[in-house]
């Protein structure tokens, strides 16, 4: 098991005094604080290695390129991807889902095709598909949740037809903490030739994830939710699907050569992931993100998950011991292994705006 007190000492901001007391931070689902190891890596990059990547033969450019490429390798290993070709750095989960919607959707969706989204999804797992459906005259179908907050698998089975092309699903809800059985969703979808986009913003930072074991097509997640810098995220693309994406944002870094031959341009595109990372990327962010991944790996993702499960178990136990469970309704599954560390609740017969804790 992890040593929470020892880990806390790695986070300088938790020493901050607010209203006479040390900071207590509960907003990790929105963004996490950063350990000193990540902060130092960012400082070290800007102090000693700052340069643009893939554009120069001088020492700093070569070194920065090497560090940035290695960051892709570290993230690939972290989620069990086969290589860096499957790891596209973006700004965040939202951009990653949009990249799938536009780079895959514009190329592959046809009029009348169906896109399934879940009511468990974050807005980012719904809105990009609404826009693409409008552009391609496709149809959005919605799978709801059961009374205990789980994904309605029976409804999902009914919704999938021969016109269904893609399912957008969240792995762990940022509202109820519900953990969706992604392996089961993928198996069902793949039996019908349907791809699945998994929003892993809340799951990847909290539990072991192996994309090949889960048979994931597309996985999206954000660095800032897993101890890394803001403005850096990941789109994982299964190696068999990379060629089904059309480069959406093009420019410097996305090409190897461009020649004008009088009658038109001759272009030799870069391979993945660089073809999808046009322009100067968040180099320091990518390198800092890799350090955050290494920090999580040192703790152990299995240890992190077991620690969070134990905290939820303790919360449920104390609510029962204090007989508060008769006043408080927990949203989402009651089985602790089917939910993450976030617990949403409502006090029965009381408007949440009238609730006040002392």
pLDDT in tens, 111-138: 999 999 999 999 999 999 999 999 999 9
The mean pLDDT value of the chain amounts to 94
Query: For 222-239, b where at least 16 C-beta lie within 10 A, e where not — what string?
Result: bbbbbbbbbbbbbbbbbe
Do 279 and 311 sit in the same domain of this protein? no
Does 292 lie in the same domain as 230?
A: yes
The reply to whether 190 and 314 lie within a common domain is no
Is 37 part of a structural domain of the chain?
Answer: no
Percent with pLDDT over 90 in the chain: 82
Domain for residue 99, yes or no? yes
Share of the chain above pLDDT 70, in %: 99
Q: What is the tens place of the pLDDT at every residue in 237-275?
A: 999 999 999 988 899 899 888 999 888 999 898 999 999
Does 23 fall in a domain? no
Q: Residue 106: beta bridge partners? A: none
Do residue 267 and residue 208 come from a single domain?
yes
Say yes or no: 141 and 234 in one domain.
yes
Residue that finishes a domain, picked among 297, 328, 343: 297
Q: Which residues does 168 contact at the CB level (< 8 Å), separation at least 6?
A: 97, 115, 116, 117, 118, 121, 125, 126, 129, 196, 197, 199
Please check whether residues 83 and 186 belong to one and the same domain.
Answer: yes
In a domain, 5, yes or no: no
Question: Is the distance from CB of 98 to CB of 128 less than 8 angstroms?
Answer: yes
Give the model's pLDDT for residue 357: 60
Model confidence at 312, in pLDDT bands (50, 70, 90)? very high
User: Do the domain assignments include residue 92?
Assistant: yes
Can you give the pLDDT at residue 349? 78
Please indicate, yes or no, whether residues 49 and 89 belong to a single structural domain of this protein.
yes
Task: Assess whether 189 and 288 both reside in one domain.
Answer: yes
Q: What CATH number is attached to the domain comprising 53?
A: 3.40.640.10
> Does residue 9 form part of some domain?
no
Shared domain check, 330 and 270: no
Which of helix, strand or coil describes residue 198? strand
- Report how many domains make up the chain: 2
Task: Verify that 121 and 83 share a domain, yes or no.
Answer: yes
Q: What is the pLDDT of residue 353?
A: 74
What pTM value is reported for the model?
Answer: 0.95
**pLDDT score, position 356:** 65
- Amino acid 348: pLDDT: 80
Q: Provide the β-strand partners of residue 114.
A: 139, 164
Contact 38, 291 (CB under 8 A): yes
Would you state the pLDDT for residue 326?
Answer: 83
DSSP alpha helix (H) spans, 49-123: 59-79, 93-99, 105-108
Domain check: are 186 and 223 in the same one? yes
Question: CB 214: neighbour CB atoms within 10 A?
Answer: 21
* Domain enclosing residue 177, as ranges: 45-297
pLDDT band for position 105 (cuts 50, 70, 90): very high
Give domain status of residue 14, yes or no.
no
pLDDT digits (tens, 9 = 90+) for 181-235: 999 999 999 999 999 999 999 999 999 999 999 999 999 999 999 999 999 999 9
Last residue of a domain, one of 252, 272, 297: 297
In a domain, residue 149? The reply is yes
Of 251, 276, 297, which residue is a domain's last?
297
**Same domain, residue pair 120 and 256:** yes
E-strand stretches of 59-210: 87-90, 114-118, 139-143, 164-170, 195-199
pLDDT band at residue 358 under the 50/70/90 scheme: low
């Amino acid at each position: 098991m992890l040593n929470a007190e020892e880990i806390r000492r790695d986070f300088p901001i938790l020493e901050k005094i607010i209203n006479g007391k040390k900071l207590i931070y509960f907003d990790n689902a929105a963004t996490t604080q950063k350990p000193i190891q990540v902060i130092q890596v960012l400082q070290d990059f800007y102090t000693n290695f700052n340069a643009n990547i893939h554009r120069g033969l001088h020492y700093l450019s070569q070194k920065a390129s090497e560090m940035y490429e290695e960051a892709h390798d570290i993230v690939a290993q972290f989620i069990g991807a086969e290589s860096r070709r499957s790891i596209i750095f973006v700004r965040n989960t939202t951009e990653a889902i949009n990249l799938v919607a536009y780079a895959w959707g514009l190329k592959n969706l046809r009029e009348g095709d169906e896109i399934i989204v879940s009511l468990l999804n974050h807005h980012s797992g719904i809105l990009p598909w609404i826009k693409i459906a409008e552009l391609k005259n496709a149809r959005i179908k919605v799978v709801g949740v059961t009374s205990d907050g789980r994904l309605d698998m029976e409804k999902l089975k009914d919704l999938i037809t021969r016109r269904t092309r893609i399912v957008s699903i969240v792995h762990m809800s940022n509202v109820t903490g519900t953990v969706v059985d992604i392996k089961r969703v993928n198996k069902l979808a793949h039996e019908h030739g349907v791809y699945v986009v998994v929003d892993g913003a809340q799951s990847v930072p909290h539990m072991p994830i192996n994309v090949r074991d889960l048979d994931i097509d597309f996985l999206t997640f954000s660095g800032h939710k897993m101890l890394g810098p803001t403005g850096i995220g990941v789109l994982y693309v299964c190696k068999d699907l990379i060629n089904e994406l059309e480069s959406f944002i093009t420019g410097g870094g996305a090409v190897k050569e461009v020649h004008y031959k009088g009658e038109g341009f001759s272009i030799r595109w870069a391979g993945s992931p660089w073809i999808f990372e046009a322009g100067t990327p968040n180099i320091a962010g990518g390198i800092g993100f890799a350090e955050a991944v290494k920090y999580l790996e040192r703790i152990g993702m299995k240890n992190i998950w077991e620690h969070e499960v134990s905290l939820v178990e303790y919360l449920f136990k104390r609510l029962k011991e204090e007989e508060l469970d008769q006043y408080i309704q927990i949203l989402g599954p009651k089985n602790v292994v089917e939910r993450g560390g976030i617990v949403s609740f409502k006090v029965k017969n009381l408007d949440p705006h009238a609730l006040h804790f002392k």
